[in-house]
């Protein structure tokens, strides 16, 4: 499937003015300080990308791991990576990949067709806690089922070709977004030897509160430009350049991801010269930093911020209540007061640039009085009390300041008689586990940065099957999404997704709020950075001047 492309600058020139004070972390290569310090907003959820779904995990993963398919620079469209090319069968159920030669994993293991099949079979054979949405979120959402209960599974088998450089992946069901989905870090190739040595699939805890394997805590092994060195939880992650990397190594030879969860502290660290850059610049800081000579580099909006609704809560099962919540929210006020410049108001769960966007979708415009009338009609003339879950200690591309968004929305909902019971949780691991893997939540803040240009990557991931996050069962919606994701002809697929977006707008499983435009900021010595709408930014492509 070919979806409408987003085009942004693949490489941008950045200018600023700050002296680089590396806190003794420098590794000099000629005249260039080759250690790059980047401020992360939180620890990664996991160093095993198959068991992660958050941006901070994937930012680290993209440096260590590579997939068969990558992303065309500056776009959200798929491009060859470890697979140099591929062919699709006429029925859309088999894909034969020609693999890049002379590639090794960081532990010396050869990358070949056997390694590809090992990874595909590994995902399909996850069991127990590993199948939890809080663990294998992407595989469960996109490939649907596992070997122990294969009904409805997308994946069927993997076979080595005539040579170790050719491999065929067979699907049981058509999946139009299959190639694009393989660009996700969750489907990156990992060393079979390391996965086995460090018991990667031995996930402890429960589905509601899983714990990391030994591998995911400290032994990730991929083919990417950087090797994992250490992780001091709550402090920093260190990587170094892989000497035998098959591709080009750039100016950056060492990476430090320094964990700085406070947006103000990230800004101060950039101004002090102790970091080279950071993502998720707070909206209030963009103007001031630009005025001081730092370059603020926004990504084009390829995000969605939404207010999730858990229909396991009895009051929220009534669509009139969900309509009332929608009409209580002044989205433009929320954007103006809490979100970055360039943010677009959302009427549905895909950005306007994605195929299937419905210009005529039903909207519930801001109208507090009508919202009160709907609550009364539903049997709640005095309103009711509602848990409102929101994350703390984190900034996300779709939500740089969660506490501010929570405060703004709480005030708006209180105007129609909703009494808010605040439910804050630290982002990792408590918040995601609570809202995605348990029923112990009410309305909640969450969002998404699109991974590739395909409608299913948004609405299919959100609403493609029954999930604890939303607490509803809608077989008609699930069937419509299943049908659309299997159609490879874009002209046939678009009207199906337009209808699906209308169905979602009427059903209101969540409330789309905005498409925020996240921004990055950098020091003077960073002369180019490979900005990407889907955060596909590997640091070997950074250029440094000093």
Split into its structural domains, the chain has a count of: 3
Please check whether residue 210 is in contact with residue 99, taking contact to mean a CB–CB distance below 8 angstroms.
no
Q: Residue 292 and residue 543: Cα distance in Å, rounded?
A: 22
Q: Is residue 103 part of a domain?
A: yes
Q: Are 427 and 441 in a shared domain?
A: yes
Please check whether residue 477 is in contact with residue 504, taking contact to mean a CB–CB distance below 8 angstroms.
yes
Q: Are 393 and 534 in a shared domain?
A: no
The secondary element (H helix, E strand) that includes residue 298 is strand 295-298
Q: Is residue 209 part of a domain?
A: no
Q: Are 255 and 322 in a shared domain?
A: no
What pLDDT was estimated at residue 523? 92
Q: Is residue 325 part of a domain?
A: yes
Q: Is residue 226 part of a domain?
A: no
Nearest alpha-carbon partner for 458 in 500, 486, 487, 507: 500
Q: Are 114 and 136 in a shared domain?
A: yes
Q: Residue 436 and residue 536: Cα distance in Å, rounded?
A: 25
What pLDDT was estimated at residue 490? 83
**CATH number, domain containing residue 123:** 3.90.76.10
Q: Is 291 exposed, middle or buried (0-12, 13-18, 19+ CB in 10 A)?
A: exposed
Nearest alpha-carbon partner for 156 in 165, 146, 141: 146
Q: Are 459 and 337 in a shared domain?
A: yes
Gyration radius from the chain CA atoms = 23
Q: Is 295 exposed, middle or buried (0-12, 13-18, 19+ CB in 10 A)?
A: buried
Q: Residue 273 and residue 25: Cα distance in Å, rounded?
A: 12
The secondary element (H helix, E strand) that includes residue 156 is strand 155-160
Q: Are 241 and 150 in a shared domain?
A: no
Q: Residue 443 and residue 447: Cα distance in Å, rounded?
A: 13
Q: Is 459 exposed, middle or buried (0-12, 13-18, 19+ CB in 10 A)?
A: buried
What pLDDT was estimated at residue 30? 60
Q: Is residue 219 part of a domain?
A: no
Q: Are 473 and 529 in a shared domain?
A: no
Question: Predicted confidence band at 28 (pLDDT cuts at 50, 70, 90)?
Answer: low
Q: Residue 124 and residue 150: Cα distance in Å, rounded?
A: 9
Q: Are 176 and 34 in a shared domain?
A: no
Q: Is residue 393 part of a domain?
A: yes
Beta bridge partners of 118: none
**CATH number, domain containing residue 245:** 3.40.190.10
Q: Is residue 215 part of a domain?
A: no
Which 3 state secondary structure label does DSSP give 408?
A: helix
Q: Is residue 145 part of a domain?
A: yes
Which 3 state secondary structure label does DSSP give 368?
A: helix
Which 3 state secondary structure label does DSSP give 529?
A: strand
Domain boundary among 172, 196, 220: 196
Q: Is beta strand 32-33 parallel, antiparallel or unpaired with respect to 35-40? A: unpaired
**364-422 pLDDT tens trace:** 999 999 999 999 999 999 999 999 999 998 888 899 889 999 999 999 999 999 999 99
What pLDDT was estimated at residue 488? 81
Q: Are 417 and 497 in a shared domain?
A: yes
**249-285 pLDDT tens trace:** 999 999 999 999 888 999 999 999 999 999 988 888 9
Has residue 18 got a pLDDT over 80? no
Domain boundary among 196, 223, 258: 196
Q: Residue 389 and residue 309: Cα distance in Å, rounded?
A: 10
Beta bridge partners of 204: 211
Domain span including residue 409? 303-515
Q: Are 472 and 376 in a shared domain?
A: yes
Has residue 152 got a pLDDT over 50? yes
Among all chains, which residue has been given the structure tokens 């950087």? 226
Residue 513's alpha-carbon distances to 301, 305, 308, 334, 446, in angstroms, are: 13, 6, 10, 8, 10
Which 3 state secondary structure label does DSSP give 307?
A: strand
Among all chains, which residue has been given the structure tokens 């595909």? 120
Question: Predicted confidence band at 21 (pLDDT cuts at 50, 70, 90)?
Answer: very low
Q: Are 447 and 311 in a shared domain?
A: yes
Computed over every residue of the chain, the mean pLDDT equals 92
Q: Are 111 and 73 in a shared domain?
A: yes
**Can you give the pTM of this predicted structure?**
0.79
Q: Residue 210 and residue 228: Cα distance in Å, rounded?
A: 23
Has residue 115 got a pLDDT over 90? yes
């Amino acid at each position: 499937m070919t979806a409408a492309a987003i085009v942004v600058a693949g490489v941008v020139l950045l200018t600023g003015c700050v002296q680089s004070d590396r806190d003794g972390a420098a590794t000099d290569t000629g005249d260039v300080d080759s250690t790059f310090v980047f401020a992360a907003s939180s620890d990664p959820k996991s160093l095993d990308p198959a068991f992660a779904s958050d941006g901070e995990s994937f930012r680290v993963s993209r440096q260590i791991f590579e997939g068969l398919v990558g992303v065309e620079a500056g776009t959200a469209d798929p491009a060859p990576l470890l697979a140099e090319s591929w062919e699709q069968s006429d029925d859309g159920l088999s894909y034969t990949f020609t693999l890049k030669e002379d590639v090794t994993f960081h532990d010396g293991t050869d990358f070949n067709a056997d390694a590809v099949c090992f990874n595909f079979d590994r995902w399909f054979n996850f069991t127990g806690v590993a199948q939890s949405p809080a663990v294998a979120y992407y595989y469960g959402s996109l490939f649907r089922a596992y070997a122990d209960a294969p009904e409805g599974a997308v994946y069927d088998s993997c076979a080595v070709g005539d040579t170790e450089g050719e491999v065929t992946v067979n699907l049981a069901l058509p999946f139009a977004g299959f190639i694009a989905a393989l660009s996700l870090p969750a489907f990156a190739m990992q060393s079979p030897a390391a996965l086995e040595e460090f018991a990667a699939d031995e996930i402890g805890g429960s589905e509601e509160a899983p714990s990391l394997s030994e591998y995911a805590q400290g032994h990730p092994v991929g083919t990417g430009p950087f090797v994992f060195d250490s992780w001091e939880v709550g402090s920093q992650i260190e990587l170094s350049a892989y000497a035998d990397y098959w591709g080009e190594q750039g100016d950056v030879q060492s990476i430090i991801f320094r964990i700085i969860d406070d947006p103000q502290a990230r800004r101060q660290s950039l101004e002090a010269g102790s970091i080279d850059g950071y993502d998720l610049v707070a909206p209030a800081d963009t103007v001031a930093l630009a005025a001081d000579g730092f370059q603020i580099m926004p990504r084009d909006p390829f995000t969605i911020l939404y207010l999730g609704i858990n229909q396991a809560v009895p009051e929220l099962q009534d669509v009139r209540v969900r309509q009332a919540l929608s009409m209580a929210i002044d989205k433009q006020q929320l954007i103006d007061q809490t979100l970055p410049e360039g943010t677009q108001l959302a009427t549905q769960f895909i950005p306007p640039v994605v195929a299937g966007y419905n210009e005529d979708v039903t909207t519930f415009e801001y109208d507090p009085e009508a919202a009160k009338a709907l609550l009364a009609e539903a049997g709640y003339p005095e309103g009711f009390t509602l848990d409102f879950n929101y994350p703390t200690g984190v900034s996300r591309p779709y939500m740089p300041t969660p506490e501010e968004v929570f405060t703004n929305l709480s005030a708006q909902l209180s105007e129609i008689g909703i009494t808010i019971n605040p439910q804050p949780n630290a982002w990792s691991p408590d918040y995601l586990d609570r809202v995605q893997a348990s029923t112990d939540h009410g309305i909640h803040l969450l969002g998404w940065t699109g991974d590739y240009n395909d409608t299913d990557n948004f609405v299919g991931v959100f609403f493609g099957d029954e999930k604890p996050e939303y607490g509803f069962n809608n077989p008609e919606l699930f069937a419509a999404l299943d049908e659309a994701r299997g159609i490879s002809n874009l002209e046939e697929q678009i009207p199906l997704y337009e209808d699906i977006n209308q169905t979602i707008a009427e059903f209101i499983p969540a409330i789309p709020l905005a498409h925020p435009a996240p921004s990055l900021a950098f020091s003077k010595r960073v002369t180019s950075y490979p900005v990407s709408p889907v955060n596909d930014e590997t640091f070997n492509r950074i250029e440094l001047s000093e």
